[in-house]
């Protein structure tokens, strides 16, 4: 009886030489173990141009292999590449295993030096799967839904022109909270609390907590503090029709839509999470310390029971 092929998607930033080399290394390791590396068509062309020996040993996503056939997604790059991979397999059960080739890389599980070991453990299915909540994003104009998308990190409502602020009113659970002029508003998940939300002065929220964050950007108001609400709440930002300023919606820095004056952006928890493959079960506190190089010298640890 013929064994079912193991299809593992490899997503890489093939415009970078180090990422291209890492992708070739991963594909060769998968092939040697009897698995089938799957690549997006454009990335496959880039990889074969550099590594023609892989021709005939890889499959093409959406042609010979569908996303629902995937066992795992190995992502080579920074958080931006992982966000792209999450978009590619949205709604499928295959988890994402990130190998960081970028800078901070909060979503990645391993570093470049651990590449071979990470692939070995992936082939053994020696990993845990962690689900991260995502956002469901809708744009309404005159009560009509004109655009829908989703986000793992954040959805932002931002001014389209550098010269002018936008006027917004924010809502929580369908009730108005405050109105102000600003450069924009970040609507984030706990996963995104270490990304754009963090840069804007928002709190870091442990990813094990389900919550929605709202962080104003350069708001001209006395009450424009970051907000954290429960996972069953809804957040909304309405772009007020004042002046000639225009706004845009951006989801995870990837999906962009223009927002006309009067548009309302409503964010809720999405029923479709993103699944991340984890090789290590260490606490999120240690991840923060390592990624931000936080000063902990002198810590002696708890004495007795806390």
Question: Which tokens go with 56?
Answer: 């005939």
The Cα 45–Cα 48 span in angstroms is: 5
The Cα 135–Cα 153 span in angstroms is: 8
Question: What count of residues does the chain have?
Answer: 306
Output phi, psi for 41, to 5 deg. Answer: -55, -45
DSSP-derived pairing of the beta strands 264-269 and 70-77: unpaired
**Nearest by Cα to 154 from 111, 97, 91, 217:** 217
DSSP 46: H
**Nearest by Cα to 132 from 281, 274, 278, 280:** 274
DSSP, residue by residue, 212-275: EEEEEES-BSSS---EEE-TT--EEEEE---TT--EEEEETTTEEEEE-TT-EEEEEE-S-PEE
**Nearest by Cα to 39 from 82, 79, 88, 86:** 88
The Cα 42–Cα 62 span in angstroms is: 12
The Cα 204–Cα 294 span in angstroms is: 14
User: Exactly one of 79, 210, 232, 286 is catalytic; which is it?
Assistant: 79
The Cα 110–Cα 70 span in angstroms is: 21
Active site residue 114: no
Q: Which residues are the active-site residues?
A: 79
């Amino acid at each position: 009886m013929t064994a079912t092929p193991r299809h593992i998607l490899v997503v890489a930033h093939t415009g970078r030489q180090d990422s291209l080399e890492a992708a070739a290394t991963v594909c060769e390791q998968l092939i040697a173990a009897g698995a089938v590396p799957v690549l997006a068509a454009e990335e496959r062309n880039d990889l074969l141009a550099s590594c023609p020996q892989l021709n005939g040993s890889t499959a093409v996503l959406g042609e010979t292999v569908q996303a629902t056939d995937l066992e795992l997604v190995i992502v080579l790059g920074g958080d931006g590449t992982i966000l792209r991979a999450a978009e590619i397999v949205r709604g499928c059960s295959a988890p994402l295993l990130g190998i960081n080739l970028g800078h901070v890389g909060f979503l990645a599980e391993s570093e470049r030096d651990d590449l071979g070991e990470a692939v070995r453990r992936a082939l053994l299915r020696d990993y845990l799967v962690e689900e991260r909540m995502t956002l469901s994003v809708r744009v309404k104009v005159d009560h009509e839904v004109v655009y829908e998308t989703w986000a793992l990190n954040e959805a932002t409502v931002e001014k389209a022109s550098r010269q002018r602020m936008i006027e917004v009113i924010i809502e929580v659970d369908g009730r108005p909270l405050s109105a102000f002029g600003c450069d924009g508003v970040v609507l984030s998940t706990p996963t995104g609390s270490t990304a754009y939300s963090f840069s804007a002065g928002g709190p870091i929220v442990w990813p094990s907590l389900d919550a929605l964050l709202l962080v104003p950007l350069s708001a001209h108001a006395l009450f424009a503090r970051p907000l954290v609400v429960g996972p069953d709440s809804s957040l909304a930002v309405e772009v007020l029709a004042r002046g000639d300023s225009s706004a845009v919606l951006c989801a995870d820095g990837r999906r962009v839509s223009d927002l006309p004056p009067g548009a309302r952006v409503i964010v809720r928890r999405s029923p479709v999470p993103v699944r991340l493959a984890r090789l290590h079960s260490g606490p999120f506190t240690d991840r923060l310390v390592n990624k931000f190089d936080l000063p902990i010298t002198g810590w002696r640890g708890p004495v007795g029971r806390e």
